Amino acid sequence: MIQGKIEGISDDGLGTLEKDGRLIYVPFAYPGDMVVVKGTKRRFGRRIATDFELIGESPLRQGARCPHFGTCGGCLWQGLKYREGLRLKAEIFERTTGISAPVKGSPKVWGFRNVSNFIVTSEGIGLKEYGNPLGVVDLRECPVFSKKTPEYLRALRNFLKETGLRPWNLRRKTGDVHYLQVREGKFTGEVMVNLIAHVKPSGEMLEAFKNYFSLADSLYWSLKRDERDDPRGEAGLAAGEPYIRERVGNVTYLIHPNSFFQTNSHALTLLLRAVEDFTDGERVLDLYSGVSTFGVWLAKRGFKVEGVELNPFAVEMANKNALINGVNAVFKIGRAEETAIGDYDTVIVDPPRKGLREVAELLVKSGVERVIYVSCNPRAFKFDYERHLKNAYRVENAVLIDMFPHTPHVEAVVELVRKE
């Protein structure tokens, strides 16, 4: 057993305890906590506590609202006072990137998530346990998602009982139903329910599905043809509308089971305004444009926007969003790496977690005056900036938006301006 005080916090949000010159990483622990570590495991070269006891509470602590806190992997920082969490996020970002940036908190810290993917398994229905890929928390509620969570889960359990459909077995990789995805339009009240299953539904199954989830405005049955543990499948409309809508400010977005949309509708306004504040000129290129979250918002404010996105379905959704909002924006299918970056005043990049890589060099060689880099991965930003973008751009401004309360993650918006 090892007893000691948590002195620091790792980049991924674990409390750190030093013993004999080596660090032990403790989940759900914060600076100032006194802990007794009874067991550890090695993962990616680190010793991570698997069995520990809190014997003295840090002044940074607060009572967790969720009964599943400490087991569920969804909210590592729910036991941390919210303002202290914001401060630590800014510290981690500066430690990683060298950039000091203000952080803006989420307008709501409970019930803010607009989507939840409930895994359906023989071990339970809910969310994954922290640090255990085969462990599932049999969920009763989820305060960060929706007050209706018990209703959704009760409907699912009754539906499975009536139809005899088997939950997925994570060890054997067998079963019928793998995930239930629920999306809520936080500002429209619209609900989408999407069942991800390994079997096609019979007529009786579909009728039962419709009856148990009659609260949904849009109902999908997605056929999953692989054994990968993710909430993806071939979406088939079972009942209701093909899309639900979310309203952010004066912009309406269409949401489909297969489209990515920022998970915090309440903080999304802050993110969009940050991008807008850093954008200058008239012509804007939106690389990695997705369903046009940034592009349509900017077009609504008078910018002439062109977007490039690899995923054809996302491009289709982006152009639908532009159409229903009546804006001057066009989105095309293309690879960011092969995009000719022409006469634009501002380029917005919101790359995948791995970062820009070779696209960063394209930006350096372009004549673009201003690049707005949006990312939830500070390490990827640092790599792109130090290896490429720094050769042509300086950091003019940066702001952090807390899109992910009760977690170590934060969204950064960095304004890069070409050096003279």
Query: Is 376 assigned a catalytic role?
Result: yes
Cβ count within 10 A of residue 338: 11
Q: Are 138 and 124 in contact (CB under 8 A)?
A: yes
Amino acid at 20: D
Here the tokens at position 371 are 């690049």
DSSP 8-state code for residue 75: -
How far apart are alpha carbons 366 and 239 in whole angstroms? 48
Burial class (CB in 10 A: 0-12, 13-18, 19+), 63: exposed
How far apart are alpha carbons 52 and 64 in whole angstroms? 18
What is the sign, positive or negative, of the torsion defined by CA atoms of 269, 272, 275, 281? negative
State the catalytic residue, choosing from 66, 75, 142, 376.
376
Here the tokens at position 325 are 């909002």
Residue with tokens 């100032």: 32
Query: Which residues lie closer than 8 Å to 21 by C-beta, 6 or more apart?
Result: none
Active site residues: 376
